[in-house]
Structure 1
Amino acid sequence: MKNINWNSILLASFVIIAFISVGFALGQEVFWLAGLFLFLGFAIMGFGISKKKKQNAH
């Protein structure tokens, strides 16, 4: 556990915050904001997955 990848932890935290924000926006009945946070969560997750694939390829 010596090599902690802080960038990946930060990226995963942003994804979790985005999906929690979807729930909050739905609770407030602001559906356009929920859609925005949902898109943002998937976009950040896709970026993280592509970054991990590039890292494992080398």
Structure 2
Amino acid sequence: MNMKEINWPLFLLALLVVAMFFGVGFAIALRNIWLIILFLLLGFALMGYGISLKRKRK
């Protein structure tokens, strides 16, 4: 696989989803329930958006 085959927008979206779930771990370490809920909701929302984009492309 070369660099031209990588779908950069979806790759960056996937990295953002991973960052949101890292944020959940950070919020758990801080014991802040509001940050936990925020990062969880953002993570699942971004993941759903990415899945919907992928389905539209097929």
TM-score, normalised by the number of residues in structure 1: 0.92
- Give the structure 1 partner of residue 22 of structure 2: 20
Q: Among the aligned pairs, what percent are the same residue?
A: 54
CA RMSD, Structure 1 to Structure 2 (Å) = 0.7
Deviations 1:5-56 (Å, cap 9, x if unpaired)?
A: 0011100000000000001001101111110000000000000000000001
Match of 1:49 among 44, 48, 51: 51
Structure 1 stretches of 4+ moved >4 Å: none
Match of 1:38 among 33, 37, 40: 40
**Partner Cα separation in structure 1 for residue 55 and residue 29 of structure 2:** 35
**Partner Cα separation in structure 2 for residue 3 and residue 28 of structure 1:** 40
| 1:13 maps to amino acid | L
How many pairs are equivalent?
A: 56
TM-score, normalised by the number of residues in structure 2: 0.92
Unaligned stretches of 5+ residues in structure 1: none
